[in-house]
A and B are shown apart, each in its own frame.
Chain A
Amino acid sequence: MAISEVKSLVQALSKEYNSPNPDLAKCGQYLSKLKIALIELQYLTHEDRHNNIEELTLARDVLEIGAQWSVRTKDIPSFERYMAQLQTYYNDHRDLPPSPLEYNLIGLNLLCLLSQNRISDFHTALEMIDPEQLHNNPAIQHPIKLEQSLMEGSYNRVWSSRSDVPSKEYLFFIDILMDTIRNEIASCSEKAYTSLPLKDAGTLLFFTNMEDILNFAQERNWKVNPAEQKAYFHSDADEKISIPADQIIKQTMFYARDMDRIV
């Protein structure tokens, strides 16, 4: 496929994607066609095409739309693939004109890592971002603040962050994040309270109707007392402290072996 054909395809794709009601299935078809075309143009192995800025920009645009499209179709593995390919364009081709979507997508990627609880990857990705952008770009600041609130335990703030997302693609990941948070809160509550009125549990967990609360309580094995409208958590006081015999034997054998070596 010649470069002019690719160009017209890209135009068709971006027109479809940016329309108010994009046909996602159609975009998918365009994308798979474009990917084949790009492979023919060797967009992944462009060692000798280092200077062809036009082609590289084209390839980057396709990948960017692809990444956003993956979020819309809720396909996380595909999103991660697109992001991995885009990293080359963001890091190694600094001579390209900067993309307006770059930090938006990086922010999305951060959120994606966060929603899967991959904290160490999250921080590694954070280090790669230019410090200037790190402090000032709202798309980047959003996931950073989110991570801080998560680490502290200010789940309230995570919940309210839904309202001020930089772009609507963020919502998808925040929704995933909410499930994670609910489980976090539940596990904290189990340790922190001996009992909790069901209604308060509902507010803590951001549930609005009673049925959801009861279902959730059942899922986490809470003892619900219908008369009192309270949930009881099993306390860990009755857990037995076992003697770690296995571990101590291993350690003692280790000492013996090393002592033997010294003597």
Chain B
Amino acid sequence: MSEAPRRSTRLNKNQEEDSKGKAKAVDQDVEMEETPDAAAAAGSKSTVLGEKELEALVIADIKQHFALFTKSAKTHEARFAIRALRSVSSLRKRLTAQALARTIASSYGKDDEARKRLLGYLGPDVLSSITPADEVAVTKLETPEVDVYLHLLVMIYLLDQGQLEKGIELSNITVHMVQELNRRSLDQLAAKVYFYYSRFYELTGRLEEIRPTLLNAQRTATLRRDDDTQSTLINLLLRNYFHYNLYDQADKLVSKTAFPENATNNQLARYMYYLGRIKAIQLEYTESHQCLLQAVRKAPQNNVTAGFQQEANKLLIIVQLLMGEIPERSLFRQPMLRKPLAPYFQITQAVRIGDLNKFQETLATHSATFNADKNYTLILRLRHNVIKTGIRMISLSYSRISLRDVCLKLHLDSEEDAEYIVAKAIRDGVIDATIDHEKGFMRSKENVDIYSTNEPQHAFHQRIGFCLKLHNDSVKAMRFPLKTVNQDAAEVEAARDQERNLVQEIAEADEDMDEDHGEL
């Protein structure tokens, strides 16, 4: 694979940046050659280039991906395929019907069924753009991967053009194709194909229909230990269930499947978000909090993922509040999050000061937003947190207060209510106090010294546990290139030979020594 065409195609450097952010260390050896200066120079050049050249470059890019896929299939190395797929997002913005048509024309034989089909989906206008030169230079497809890749590109093109019905048809065909071809080198492509397949159905509101297909595919992928497809499919299924609010079924799916450990960060982030939501609904806030934190941290921090980060952060804020923690102020200041999180900020303020009236007001004004985010029921649960905070504030500031005053301060219905609520708060450990029923007041106990309890030890344990896990995870995440492993193996072999010789020599020497014993 020569580097020359690859280098010259890097025109739209800005778009490339996005995918580059996600680039793993493996590919750094290639990516690092691109210096920012070169990129800027290339960027200015792109305005000079005409449409024709751009089209040619797109075709060259696709062709180069073909080579990568073929290489990946032949060497059984998934990373070449991953590299090609990673640059699809930048290619996507430059994709034109003409470029696709020309690539298709030059990739399939004239009577090939796939050629007719794909060109059919692109529309009749593109036929004119095919030059005879393309037809002459037909290179026979070496592997089915390239075939599937072309289908995928046409699918993406249809999605961008909003031709959903056509897209559904083509995605059905492609999914069928992927299922027929049982090749491990197809795994990464299959994951993408399923993703767009589900996307088409989602956009046309027919997500229900594909559930059986996805479940079947998920089962097959699990049996084949196909991590990429498996992780994509689990997420698609969860999304599918969530779309219809079927959290019960989503929870069952999660408990019956194991999310592959080697899944990519992006899939993991999605999965963690879904898991966090399920756990939040089931009132397991601590677990939910952990999952959501991971989701926020694993998600790539750039503008492309803004939507995901906003959603995850919204949920994270609610879960934190439900746990009795107050999210940090700086979270609401981030430029990307500030606006969408504004209603949540107001809720947070209401909870923080324990003002029930303000809470109800905010809830009423933003109920449409919360409903759209599907967070309304979760926020409703916060009501009793507001009361709890209110009681805690009162308990901290007064050593003795009448129940009537508590009732007035918290805007409760009656004194009896206040008594029950305070009693419950005492039982739940929110405050440390006693109630004098006859005289009708609540007396706070002295604060206990936290360092005389097991609390600090517990906190230390959590932190140590986290550090150890971090270390173990980073050891697991280390990757060594395959070649050197082979080399090492060869070296070890050689070393062993040497050792064997040495042992033999020593043994012989010993024998010699025995013979020559007299001389010593």
Contacts and interface: CB of A to CB of B under 8 A. Distances in A.
A127 B277 CA distance: 11
A202 B475 CA distance: 63
A194 interface: yes
Interface in A141-178: 144, 148, 151-157
B461 to A, nearest CB: 6
Contact of B371 (A127, A131, A155): A131
A258 B434 CA distance: 45
A248 B438 contact: no
Given A127-B377, A200-B437, A251-B461, A153 B425 contact: yes
Most buried by A among B208, B380, B383, B414: B380
Interface in A189-240: 189-194, 196-197, 200, 204
A63 B450 CA distance: 56
Contact of A120 (B284, B371, B427, B438): B284
Interface string B249-278: 001000000000000000000000000000
B247 A154 contact: no
B159 interface: no
Most buried by A among B208, B251, B282, B422: B282
Contacts of B381: 123, 151
Nearest to B376: A131
A131 B374 CA distance: 9
B281 interface: yes
Contact of A185 (B284, B413, B417, B420): B420
Contacts of B246: 91, 128
Contacts of B422: 153, 192
Contacts of B420: 153-156, 185, 188, 204
A151 B284 CA distance: 15
B45 interface: no
Contacts of A261: 472
B133 interface: no
A123 B282 contact: yes
Contacts of B457: 248
A148 B244 CA distance: 25
Contacts of A11: none
B303 to A, nearest CB: 31
- For chain A, the bracket of interface size reads 35 or more
Contacts of A131: 371, 376
Nearest to B388: A152
Interface string A243-257: 010001001001100
B67 interface: no
A190 B423 CA distance: 9
Contact of A127 (B281, B454, B472): B281
A197 B437 contact: yes
A253 B205 CA distance: 54
A123 B377 contact: yes
Interface in B388-445: 412-414, 416-417, 419-427, 433-438
A110 B413 CA distance: 25
B409 to A, nearest CB: 15
Nearest to B457: A248
A158 to B, nearest CB: 10
Contacts of B376: 131, 134
A155 to B, nearest CB: 5
B342 interface: no
A197 B246 CA distance: 50
Most buried by B among A123, A196, A197, A200: A123
Given A124-B247, A157-B417, A255-B468, A148 B380 contact: yes
B245 interface: yes
B426 to A, nearest CB: 4
B384 interface: yes
Given A123-B282, A154-B413, A191 B472 contact: no
Contacts of A200: 437-438
A113 to B, nearest CB: 12
B66 to A, nearest CB: 42
A3 interface: no
B283 interface: yes
A203 B230 CA distance: 59
A262 interface: yes
A196 B437 contact: yes
B391 to A, nearest CB: 10
A127 B375 CA distance: 10
A197 B371 CA distance: 47
B514 interface: no
Given A154-B417, A156-B414, A148 B282 contact: no
A126 B377 contact: yes
Given A148-B383, A152-B421, A193 B434 contact: yes
A14 B383 CA distance: 42
A187 interface: yes
Contacts of A44: none
Given A126-B377, A156-B414, A248-B457, A188 B282 contact: no
Contacts of B416: 156
Contacts of B423: 153, 185, 188-189, 191-193
A185 B424 CA distance: 8
B219 interface: no
Interface string B367-382: 0000100101100110
Interface in A22-74: none
B387 interface: yes
A142 B383 CA distance: 17
Interface string B339-381: 0000000000000000000000000000000010010110011
Interface string B14-33: 00000000000000000000
Contacts of B494: none
Contact of B283 (A91, A123, A244): A123
Given A123-B282, A124-B247, A148-B384, 4 more contacts: A124-B282, A128-B247, A154-B413, A191-B426
25 contacts: A91-B246, A92-B208, A120-B283, A123-B281, A124-B247, A124-B251, A127-B281, A128-B247, A131-B376, A151-B384, A152-B387, A152-B421, A188-B420, A188-B423, A188-B426, A188-B427, A190-B427, A192-B423, A192-B426, A192-B433, A194-B434, A196-B437, A204-B420, A255-B468, A261-B472
A-B pairs with the 7 shortest C-beta distances?
Answer: A153-B424, A188-B423, A192-B423, A120-B282, A188-B427, A153-B421, A151-B384
